[in-house]
Structure 1
Amino acid sequence: MPVGIAVMAALLVALLGGTITDLGPWYESLHKPAFTPPRPVFPIAWTTIFALAALAGVTAWRAAPNVRISDTLVGLFALNGFLNVMWSLLFFRLQRPDWAFVELLLLWLSIAVLIVYCLRLSRLASMLLVPYLVWVSAAGALNWGVVQLNAPFG
């Protein structure tokens, strides 16, 4: 996975997720948990996470001993990117934090699988993904809090 491709993939996922994210009246009207970070924290965190994920992808890809393993790695990152964008779609566009929370569990699992798979190839690549798992864990707590404070949806 050349660096340019990894950067473009990370930017594409970030752009799609950012385009789908709507912080308009519906989102503003939601009751949010008291531990919700200030709004400027989110773009900083996501930019850092996407940069680390791209670096992890390149590092693990370069360490892959054969094409089958590198193709599997690319597939795992692609699935993760899809799940990342789907969360934004479910939460913000469909306005279904309840469905988004269920989908977030799949996103979390995809990150955990990436960490384990990358660990077989590169300890550094695996460690670079840990902040992503931590952030999505915190996002899960926030998402669950929104569900608890605002349900039912739909």
Structure 2
Amino acid sequence: MTTTVAPPPPPATRRRARALNPADVLVLASLIAVNALIAMFGSAVSRPHINGWYAEVAPPIWVPPNWVFGVVWSALYLSISIAAWLVWRERRRRRVTIALTAYVIQMVLNCLWSPVFFALYPAIGSLATWLALGIHMALLLSLVVMTSEFWQVRRTASILTAPYALWVIYAASITVAYAVILP
């Protein structure tokens, strides 16, 4: 007599992938597109000043070459777009309003930093760097809220935001250095 043993059931913590529908694809594409527009805006605002006043100031020793910023920000914007999308996909099962509101707030703050730091410096001097630092601090606070809320909704989304948070901390250290060294 042979006994057949049924395979064990999948672990309860394992999440079954939900099929993508057209709305899912549209929202993901929209999040990526909005973040790409924010990146292009930041680049357009920064570019004239990177070759202007910014090039004339000796950078702190930990500042990478300028091309690194574009590569890193592109990857980070893609990552946080996917994170926000993963949270959005949970909207029927969980409350995601606070998480997505924090996401929007931090993206607005992110978008404000470049014009304040780069474009305002020629007009108001070092006050612009201090204002940019204030934006960085608000951005970090909103990132803490966003990451925490993402964790409550979808842990993978929260983990996807970790490199972004680390980069913003690193970028804030650069802003501090410029605020201190610029007249």
> Shared fold by TM > 0.5?
yes
1:5-154 to structure 2, matched below 5 A, reads: 5-22=30-47, 23-65=50-92, 69-95=95-121, 96-151=128-183
Greater fraction helix: 1
TM-score, normalisation: structure 2: 0.76
CA contact (8 A) 2:96 2:153 kept: no
TM-score (norm 1): 0.89
Other structure's SS at 1:136 match: helix
Give the distance between the partners of 1:32 and 1:87, measured in 2 at CA: 18
Higher relative contact order (CA 8 A, sep 6+): 1
The letter for the 2-side match of 1:32 is: P
Distance 1:81 1:109 in 2: 12
Deviations 1:14-33 (A, max 9, x none): 12212211312111112321
RMSD of aligned alpha carbons: 1.6
Question: What's the CA shift for 1:72?
Answer: 3.4
Shift of residue 145 of structure 1? 0.8
Q: CA deviation at 1:99?
A: 1.1
Alpha-carbon separation, structure 2, partners of 1:57 and 1:100: 25
Q: Which has the larger radius of gyration?
A: 2
Identity of paired residues, percent? 23
Please, which runs of 5 or more residues in structure 2 have no aligned partner?
Answer: 1-23, 122-127
Report the 3-state secondary structure (helix = DSSP H, G, I; strand = E; otherwise coil) of the residue aligned with 1:88.
Answer: helix
> Does the 8 Å CA contact 2:100/2:146 hold for their aligned counterparts?
no
Residues in 1 aligned to 2:51 and 2:66: alpha-carbon distance in whole angstroms: 13
Number of residue pairs aligned between Structure 1 and Structure 2: 150
Return the offset for 1:138. Answer: 0.4
Q: 1:7: Cα distance to partner?
A: 1.3
